[in-house]
Amino acid sequence: MNWTVLKALNEVYNKGFTARRASFINDSDIQFLLEQTGELKEGIGRINEGIDFKKLYEKKHLHNFNKYVEFLNNNGLLTPQIRFQESDIKILMELKNGMDSGDLIPVRDSIIEAEETVRGVSQMFFKNEKYLEKSESLLSAVKTILNIDSLANDKDQQYKYVLQCDNPTKIVLCENLDFLKRPSKPRKHHIELWYAGGKNVAKLNFSGEIKFPIYYSCDWDYDGLQIFQMVKKIIPQIRLLYPNGIRKSIVETEHKSFWKTNENQISGLEIMNYNELEISLIKDLISNDSWIMEETNDLVEMVKEKEKQF
């Protein structure tokens, strides 16, 4: 749901109705309440509350809506023009929490130092690298929360991000940014984290001598393992971390990285890059049309297990 739909639902809760607007009734969740459950009812020029609507709203929406209003208002984002998706607001709240706790400060400082692009920041925090380009208001909100004046508009990221620690003994290159936003655990275990920006791995050619064992952490899906192969061509000694996270259905999670079932037994991936255990897992993920999200893994445990093999 976007913000206008959330506001209209809240109006139904408080007034018993809201004006009939196309943007409201065309929302798939609203259509379900109108056509399937009867918790909303169509009236003349308006949408009325139906049976048990208040109970539904109080259970699923009221607490979250009040949190969103408080957050948007406190950060100067509550304007009549905003059209944020609910998922966007949740991400903005996560960014704010990271800034307030200090966990996100090193990432924010690196963004400024690297003169990061809009697409680069979009890829870090949102669905894809072009997401922020579609909404000036959302981009402005991100810059406000991160306290960043401006972002570059070129399309290439030239810098990798490094979460440093005292006395590093190993490096983990991460496909996604999530582990870098939770720094205490890897630092405690002397793990230096790198983030290169998904497929933007060409910058790794300029990493210089790598003095520590280096590992790769990624989504276990087609795209994540493709990126691993790209990285391995640049850093041949890198070792793939075996996941311990939660398997999820690609269809149910509306994931966009699909296995290529018409290719070889492991989706067209280069089999020489994987050991027997990894190949077995890839085949299993393909057969069940599933994937493992990087952030569901225990990073430290993955590293410990890989170290036992060497």
67-91 tens-digit pLDDT: 999 999 999 999 887 889 999 999 9
Q: What is the mean pLDDT of residues 176-196?
A: 90
pLDDT over 90, % of the chain: 62
pLDDT tens-digit series, residues 32-63: 999 889 999 999 999 999 999 999 999 999 99
Q: What is the mean pLDDT of residues 186-201?
A: 89
pLDDT tens-digit series, residues 268-285: 899 999 999 999 999 999
Residue 154 pLDDT > 60, yes or no? no
Whole-number mean pLDDT of the chain? 90
Q: What is the mean pLDDT of residues 213-240?
A: 96
pLDDT band at 292 (very low <50, low <70, confident <90, very high): very high
pLDDT over 70, % of the chain: 97
Task: Say what the pTM is.
Answer: 0.62
pLDDT at 156: 46
pLDDT at 153: 65
pLDDT band at 158 (very low <50, low <70, confident <90, very high): low
Enter the CATH code of domain 161-308.
3.40.1360.10
List the chain domain ranges.
Answer: 3-60, 74-146, 161-308
Phi, psi of 23 (to 5 degrees): -65, -25
pLDDT at 159: 65
